[in-house]
Structure 1
Amino acid sequence: MYQDVLIPTDGSDGTRRSINHGVTIASRFDATIHALSVVPEGPLGTLQTDEAIPAAERAVERVETEATREGVDTVTAVERGVPHEEILAYADDHGIDMIVMGTQGRTGLDRVLVGSVTERVVRMADVPVVTVRLTDELRIEDADEAARIARRTAENEGYERVSVREDPHRTSASWIVPLETDTGPVHVHVDAVTSEARVADRTRTD
Structure 2
Amino acid sequence: MYQHVLIPTDGSDGTRRSIEHGLAIADRFDATVHGLSVVPEGPLGTFEANEATPAAHRAVERVELEANAAGVDVVTAVEQGVPHEEILDYVDEHDIDAIVMGTQGRTGLDRVLMGSVTERIVRMADVPVVTVRLNQELRIEDPDEAERLARDALEADGYDGDATVAEDPHRTSASWIVPFDTDDERVHVHVDAVTRETRVASPNRSRNRNR
Same fold, judged at TM 0.5 (above): yes
Q: 1:20-43 CA deviation, whole Å, 9 max, x = no partner?
A: 211121122111111111222226
Stretches of structure 1 lacking an aligned partner (at least 5 in a row): none
Whole-angstrom distance in 2 between the partners of 1:66 and 1:125: 26
- Where relative contact order (Cα < 8 A, 6+ residues apart) is larger, the structure is 2
SS for the counterpart of 1:58 is: helix
Whole-angstrom distance in 2 between the partners of 1:58 and 1:154: 19
Q: Provide the TM-score with structure 1 as the length reference.
A: 0.77
Code of the aligned partner of 2:64: E
1:1-206 paired onto structure 2 within 5 Å: 1-42=1-42, 47-51=46-50, 52-150=52-150, 165-167=163-165, 169-172=169-172, 173-176=175-178, 188-201=189-202
Whole-angstrom distance in 1 between the partners of 2:57 and 2:5: 19
The structure number with the bigger radius of gyration is 1
Code of the aligned partner of 1:176: V
1:127 to 1:174, Cα distance in 2 relative to 1, 3 A: same
Whole-angstrom distance in 1 between the partners of 2:74 and 2:149: 30
SS for the counterpart of 1:7 is: strand
Deviation (angstroms), 1:143: 4.1
What number of residue pairs does the alignment pair up? Answer: 198
Which residue of 1 is the match for residue 208 of structure 2? none
Conserved 8 A contact 2:146-2:176: no
Deviation (angstroms), 1:7: 0.7
1:92 to 1:174, Cα distance in 2 relative to 1, 3 A: same
Q: Provide the TM-score with structure 2 as the length reference.
A: 0.76
SS for the counterpart of 1:119 is: helix
Code of the aligned partner of 1:141: E
Q: Percent identity?
A: 66
Deviation (angstroms), 1:75: 1.6
Whole-angstrom distance in 2 between the partners of 1:192 and 1:117: 25
Whole-angstrom distance in 2 between the partners of 1:8 and 1:89: 12
Stretches of structure 2 lacking an aligned partner (at least 5 in a row): 206-211
Deviation (angstroms), 1:133: 0.5
Whole-angstrom distance in 1 between the partners of 2:203 and 2:95: 36
Q: 1:160-205 CA deviation, whole Å, 9 max, x = no partner?
A: 9x8584347233122537599xxxx98653211222234445979x
